[in-house]
Amino acid sequence: MRKISDTINRLAALRLAGTTNGFSAVSSRLTPLFDFGSNPGALNGHVYIPQTLAPNSALIVVLHGCTQNAGSYDIGAGWSDMADQHGFALLFPEQQRQNNPNLCFNWFSPGDNRRDAGEALSIRQMVAAVTARHELDPARVFVTGLSAGGAMTSVMLAAYPEIFAGGAIIAGLPYGCASTVPQAFDRMRGHGMPSTSQLSALVRAASDYKGTWPTLSIWHGTADATVSYGNAQAIIDQWRPLHRTRAAPDHVEVIGGHGRRAWTDASGREVIEEYTIQGMGHGVPLDTLSEDGFGMSGAYMLEANISSTLHICRFWGLVQANDKGAARIVTKPAPAPREQAVAYDAISNAMPPIFARGTFTHGRDTHRAGGVRKIIEDALRSAGLMR
C-alpha cells in the first residue's frame, strides 16, 4: 500500500504546479524521453523505470486524455505505483498544444492515425527506443489510454498489431470510425457508427499483419455523457471477428459491483473483456479506498470501487489473480449477445465537450474512516492542502 508521505508529496506537487487547469507539467516520478527518432507527430515523451526492473520486463504505454498530461494521468491512475510493485516499465507519450489546443491526441486525423505517419509513428518510435535502452521484452508491450487516449490506443493496436500484445481502452472509440472533427463528435455521441463488418475491415486494412491479434480490455461508464457508452459495443464488434470469437460472451460475471463480459478464442484463451461501470461518467474507474487500491480520485479519475489499473494488469498477466476484497459472481455463458445500450446523452443536442477543465480534489469523502482518516487529514492540513 502506498505510504501516506508519498500521497502528501504527490498532492503537494499538484498544488505547487499552479496551472489553470489543475494539472502539473510533469510528475517528479517521470523522466523526459529524448532522442527517440524523427518524431513526425511532435509529441513529448516521459518514462518511469522502477528500481526493481529486471531484464526482459514488460512495457506499458499510457496515453492521457484531453487537457491532461503524462504526470497528472500517472498520479490519478496510479500507474507508477503499480510499476513499483510489479516491476514493469512505463512510457507516457504526451501531446503538445501546438498540435492540439486541448492536448488531445489526434486520433481522428488521417495524418496521425495511420501506420508510419504522424503521432502514431512518434509513439512507435518511443516504444522502440525505450524497449532497446532498458532491455525490455518486445513480446510484452501493452498500450492503454483514456478518451482521446483510448481512441489513440485503438489507433496503435490497428496500425502496429505486431508490436502490442494487448491494449486497454477506457471511454474510447473504435479505430477508423472518424476522419474529420465533425465525424469525431458524431461518433463520440454514438451517431453514424460504421457497421461491424466495416469496423473490422478498417483494422485489417491498417496494416498487412497476418498474425495473432492483440488482446483487448474495454472499460466504459454507463452514464458517460462525453463519449457514449455505445462505443464500447462498437469496439467489441470491431475486434470480435478478428479474434474469431462467438457473438455471445463466454463468461459473464460481476466484479466490484460492475459487469464483466469476456470472449475466448478457439483455444479457450480470453482475448476480449469488457467492464461496464454502472452509473459512472467519463473517466478512469478507480478503487482508492481499499488497501489494494491505486490512484487518486479527481477530475476524470473516478472512485468506482474497482481499480481499472489493477484489473487491466491482471488481464495482461502482469499481476497474479487475487480476488481479495472484490465481489465476484460467475454465471453461465450468456445465450445471446447483449443489445447495444442506448447511449446516455445528458447534453441533448449540444456538441459534447472533449473534456471540461478541473482540478484534483481530495475531500473527506475520499478517505478511510476512523483514525486513519484523521492522520491523513492532519497531514494534509500541515502541508497546506486541506483546510
- β-sheet bridge partners, residue 32: 46
What is the SS3 assignment for 318? coil
Q: Any residues with CB less than 8 A from the CB of 270 and at least 6 apart, and which?
A: 215, 250, 251, 262, 263, 264, 315
Q: Any residues with CB less than 8 A from the CB of 132 and at least 6 apart, and which?
A: none
381: left (phi over 0), alpha (psi -120 to 50) or beta: alpha
Reported in sequence order, the residue ranges of the chain that DSSP labels E, i.e. its strands, are 31-32, 44-48, 59-63, 89-94, 141-146, 166-170, 215-221, 251-255, 258-264, 270-277, 284-286, 301-303, 328-331
Catalytic residues: 147
What is the SS3 assignment for 223? coil
